[in-house]
């Protein structure tokens, strides 16, 4: 079941993201950061197993720009369309809010290409660089994520 995240999901979101980060699939997030941005998150919740199996967030960056971030699906749940559904839920929310430029920094270029995103130079996203990137230990010389954008 796809739904907005709840406070009771925070520790599961944190675990899922940081396990993926340990494998080099994404950047880590702190518990404090997840609590502070909880309203941004959607989760895929397996009701039968009472388990958060996937997460994705849509973060408002600027008046005309949103970011899809922290997309992660538990390995045993991959290749079932869960990641696609999570991203589409975030895009739908961006549209509802009147945000028609949506971007991501990702290691999963193929997935986002299939969803209609195109690769861009990170320099075309100065709002992101000044809001988050400059705090990242990989910035500026070691960033290995691909910047992609969708204009709706």
pLDDT in tens, 45-77: 999 999 999 999 999 998 999 999 999 999 999
Query: Class of the 2-151 domain?
Result: alpha beta
pLDDT surpasses 70 at 115: yes
Percent of the chain with pLDDT over 70: 88
| pLDDT of the residue at 45 | 98
Query: Peptide bond before 140: cis, by omega within 30 degrees of 0?
Result: yes
**How long a stretch of residues is the chain?**
152
Percent of the chain with pLDDT over 90: 74
| pLDDT of the residue at 134 | 45
Three-class SS state of 21: helix
CA 3, distance to chain mean position in Å, is 15
Q: Judge whether 58 and 70 are in contact, CB under 8 Å.
A: no
Model confidence at 31, pLDDT cuts 50, 70, 90, reads very high
pLDDT in tens, 122-134: 888 755 554 554 4
For 136, residues 6+ apart whose C-beta sits below 8 A from its C-beta are 27, 143
Delimit the domains of the chain by residue range: 2-151
Mean pLDDT of 110-137: 75
Mean pLDDT for all residues in the chain = 90
| pLDDT of the residue at 142 | 55
């Amino acid at each position: 079941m796809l739904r907005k995240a709840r406070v009771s999901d925070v520790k599961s979101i944190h675990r899922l993201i940081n396990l993926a980060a340990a494998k080099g699939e994404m950047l880590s997030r702190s518990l404090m950061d997840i609590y502070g941005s909880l309203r941004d998150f959607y989760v895929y919740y397996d009701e039968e197993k009472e388990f958060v199996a996937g997460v994705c967030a849509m973060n408002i960056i600027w008046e005309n720009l949103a970011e899809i971030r922290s997309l992660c699906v538990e390995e045993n749940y991959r290749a079932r369309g869960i990641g696609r559904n999570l991203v589409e839920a975030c895009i739908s929310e961006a549209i509802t809010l009147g945000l028609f430029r949506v971007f991501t920094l990702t290691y999963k270029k193929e997935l986002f290409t299939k969803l209609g995103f195109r690769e861009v130079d990170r320099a075309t996203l100065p709002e992101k660089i000044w809001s988050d990137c400059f705090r990242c230990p990989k910035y500026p010389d070691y960033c290995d994520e691909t910047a992609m954008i969708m204009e709706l």
